[in-house]
Amino acid sequence: MEAAKTSTPVENKEETSLKGTMVSVLFVLGVIVVMWVGVFWLYMSRV
């Protein structure tokens, strides 16, 4: 029984860790999209 009690908080900790990972991935994705839009805008302004 004690093993089952300790596994529940570990699962909650893993879910929190994965939420943080998802936020980080979305942030990096946002930076990449902003960079691509900037480069595209620069290209279009010079063409």
Q: What is the pLDDT of residues 1-47, one digit of tens each?
A: 555 555 555 556 666 678 899 999 999 999 999 999 999 999 999 98
- pTM for this one? 0.60
> Tokens in use for 14?
């893993």
- What's the pLDDT score for residue 22? 94
**What pLDDT is stored for residue 3 in this prediction?**
57
Residue 17 has what pLDDT? 73
Range 7-26 burial, b when 16+ CB lie within 10 A, else e: eeeeeeeeeeeeeeeeeeee
How many structural domains are present in the chain? 1
Residue 26 lies in domain? 1-47
